[in-house]
Chains A and B, each alone.
Chain A
């Protein structure tokens, strides 16, 4: 899951070198903290959060394979 989120985010931003994804495992869910350069926040959130929501939708769908709940948080 982490490689996929990394790939998606790095391809969306202008500064891929500043992208880090931290996996925080929980009992029933896993949280992925996505860090991007402050100037790239808009590139991963989008108007009305449209890009962030699309990221979450795709991530959740792929996580269904492992039957895990996932959360994606975007942090500058």
Chain B
């Protein structure tokens, strides 16, 4: 899939959200003259994950992944444009999201231990929806705590509370 003329590239392929999002991302990297490449990391139904690698990939991360979020938002708009199915897109660069997810899982587990020991609820920093989901998922099966989100975007955070277990053995 070489891209001589980025603008017409997407019209040449049948609609496939993963391939379309990837084509857009590759075209952007090329048009921005970045020394980086993109690949489809996973594609399950409407969940698509793209990963940017290469020497310039780190430039797309930004503070707290801000640039990555902006890029992901634009790619989602471009890919969903005029299409029925809503694509759920995740864009990673230089492994940032993967590292961040690992960090959040560790943080969630620490909070769970703290909450179950103290019996007091605890809150996370402000997190974006994707980050909050990581915390919820990480603690979903934890027998000692439960989680919910609170606050208004963009200042939503996760509350971890002791699990109220009436039906516990």
Residue B24 interfacial (CB < 8 Å): yes
B24, A11: Cβ atoms closer than 8 Å = yes
On B, residues with C-beta under 8 Å from A are: 6-7, 10, 24, 27-28, 31-34, 56, 59-60, 62, 66-67, 69-71, 73-74, 77-78, 81
B59, A62: Cβ atoms closer than 8 Å = yes
Residue A29 interfacial (CB < 8 Å): no
Residue A61 interfacial (CB < 8 Å): yes
B150 CB to closest chain A CB (Å) equals 22
A71 CB to closest chain B CB (Å) equals 16
Contacting residues, chain A, for B77 (C-beta < 8 A): 12, 51
B7, A51: Cβ atoms closer than 8 Å = no
Give the docked Cα–Cα distance between A54 and B72 (Å). 9
State the interface size on chain A (CB cutoff 8 A). 21
Contacting residues, chain B, for A57 (C-beta < 8 A): 62, 66-67, 70
25 A-B contacts (beta carbon < 8 Å): A1-B32, A4-B31, A6-B7, A7-B28, A8-B28, A11-B10, A11-B81, A12-B74, A12-B77, A12-B78, A12-B81, A16-B7, A51-B74, A54-B70, A54-B73, A54-B74, A57-B66, A58-B60, A58-B67, A58-B70, A58-B74, A61-B59, A61-B67, A62-B34, A62-B59
On A, residues with C-beta under 8 Å from B are: 1, 3-4, 6-8, 10-12, 16, 50-51, 53-55, 57-58, 61-62, 64-65
**A11-B78, A61-B67 known; A3-B31 Cβ under 8 A:** yes
A13 CB to closest chain B CB (Å) equals 9
Query: Which A-B residue pairs are the 3 nearest by beta carbons?
Result: A57-B70, A54-B70, A4-B31
Give the docked Cα–Cα distance between A18 and B28 (Å). 20
Contacting residues, chain B, for A4 (C-beta < 8 A): 28, 31-33
Contacting residues, chain B, for A58 (C-beta < 8 A): 60, 67, 70-71, 74
B88 CB to closest chain A CB (Å) equals 17
Contacting residues, chain A, for B66 (C-beta < 8 A): 57
* Extra A-B contacts (9), CB below 8 Å, given A7-B6, A12-B81, A61-B67: A6-B31, A8-B78, A11-B10, A54-B70, A54-B73, A55-B70, A57-B67, A61-B60, A64-B59
